[in-house]
Amino acid sequence: MKALLIIYHTMTGGTLQMAQAAAEGAATEAGLQVRLLRAPDAGPDDLLAADGYLFATPENLAAISGLMKDFFDRSYYAVLERLNGRPYASLICAGSDGQNAARQIERIATGWRLKPIAPPLIVCTHAQSPEDILRPKTIDAAGLRACRDIGAAMAAGLVLGVF
């Protein structure tokens, strides 16, 4: 059985909604185990046990969240040269453009020699004031549908051996 690992961090709930939607999309595929883990709870063994990855993070100060970075810092060298060729995609809950967070994940994935299955999915909440940034987020239907679609595409590709 193939395994998809979805690693996420959230502070205001938006990224969790995105990760859960991707997991729902992936769960429609028979023959696939889907694991949804918070970044502080994930590590090298989880990466090694999976066949593909979705990395979901908020954009914090134009970067991936600190706890997502901590996950990558704790895991990077322990799995280097051991994940080559595995597929991944990224989901970013952004207040502005999310591009730098996407670039950070892309650079890490390139170092691990992962292959992207889709461009980064950036859902912009347009939260710019301190109150809006700290307020709980609600991802709109279109954003959640796009997350489900990426989860479903990753699942189908893993099960069918496309990736």
Rounded to whole angstroms, the Cα distance separating 9 from 42 reads: 11
What domains can you pick out in the chain, each with its CATH number? Answer: 2-160 (3.40.50.360)
pLDDT of residue 25: 98
Tell me the residue type at 101. A
pLDDT in tens, 97-154: 999 999 999 999 999 999 999 999 999 999 999 999 999 999 999 999 999 999 999 9
pLDDT of residue 68: 98
pLDDT grade, residue 49 (50/70/90)? very high
pLDDT of residue 159: 96
Over residues 29-58, mean pLDDT: 97
pTM of the full structure: 0.97
pLDDT of residue 107: 98
Write down the mean pLDDT value for the chain: 97
pLDDT of residue 145: 98
pLDDT grade, residue 73 (50/70/90)? very high
pLDDT grade, residue 56 (50/70/90)? very high
Q: Is 64 exposed, middle or buried (0-12, 13-18, 19+ CB in 10 A)?
A: buried
pLDDT grade, residue 89 (50/70/90)? very high
DSSP state of 66: H
